[in-house]
A and B are shown apart, each in its own frame.
Chain A
Amino acid sequence: GAGVSQSPSNKVTEKGKDVELRCDPISGHTALYWYRQSLGQGLEFLIYFQGNSAPDKSGLPSDRFSAERTGGSVSTLTIQRTQQEDSAVYLCASSSGQITGELFFGEGSRLTVL
């Protein structure tokens, strides 16, 4: 597709389980971002990739959160031992990597931890 694709669109899991969220960026985009948005809140930055490396991972809230990107394309955000406070919409965005390049966001993955 032409846009940023995220999967799953919805995920319900039990507290303590691990989850993986996938982001497929726009082809050719070198920069990839993960944000999360809790209900009624603003967007919280998590991590940024340039190619396969992550020069800015300062937003990851704990060591239970990790992300990787392979082949300069698909990225996976992994949350281990999920907690109820992890419930949120996880948004992925990609851009050309230029400083004025606009970010294109996906529809998000809604995570609910019971």
Chain B
Amino acid sequence: DAKTTQPNSMESNEEEPVHLPCNHSTISGTDYIHWYRQLPSQGPEYVIHGLTSNVNNRMASLAIAEDRKSSTLILHRATLRDAAVYYCILRDWGETSGSRLTFGEGTQLTVNP
């Protein structure tokens, strides 16, 4: 699996935007970029995914660099409930469907009131 690099931790203030970076310089043309998050004492939950174009959903936005070697997860207005570990994961669509997701260390996001 291609590797991703994320900062170990980040802090934000409530109601402010948060930009969570992810570097994936060895990304291949068939890799989708997935983001999951894990709240304390819970299983991970899906946030968003993309391939080349920027993506928006009700939870977040995903900005993908033109060369696809990095991406940024954007939380537009952080809330206390957004405090979690955020995982950036590459998933190869060329593999047999249902292939595993390999979780790295992720970024621990702290949101200050």
Q: A residues near B, CB below 8 A? A: 4, 30-31, 33, 35, 42-43, 45, 48, 50, 55-56, 59, 91, 93, 95, 97-108
Contacts and interface: CB of A to CB of B under 8 A. Distances in A.
Nearest to B96: A55
A101 B44 CA distance: 14
B97 A93 contact: no
A104 B32 CA distance: 18
Contact of A102 (B46, B103, B104, B105): B46
Interface in B59-113: 91, 93, 95-106
Given A42-B106, A99-B32, A99-B93, A105 B99 contact: no
A74 B109 CA distance: 34
Contact of A99 (B45, B98, B105): B98
A45 to B, nearest CB: 5
Interface of B: 32, 34, 36, 42-46, 49, 91, 93, 95-106
A50 B98 contact: yes
A63 B46 CA distance: 31
Contacts of A93: 43-44
B93 to A, nearest CB: 4
Given A45-B101, A50-B98, A99-B97, 11 more contacts: A33-B101, A35-B103, A43-B103, A45-B103, A48-B99, A56-B99, A97-B98, A99-B93, A99-B95, A100-B32, A101-B98
B43 A98 contact: no
Given A33-B100, A42-B106, A100-B32, A105 B44 contact: yes
Contacts of A4: 43
A99 to B, nearest CB: 4
Contacts of B103: 35, 42-43, 45
Given A56-B99, A56-B100, A97-B97, A103 B32 contact: no
B49 A103 contact: no
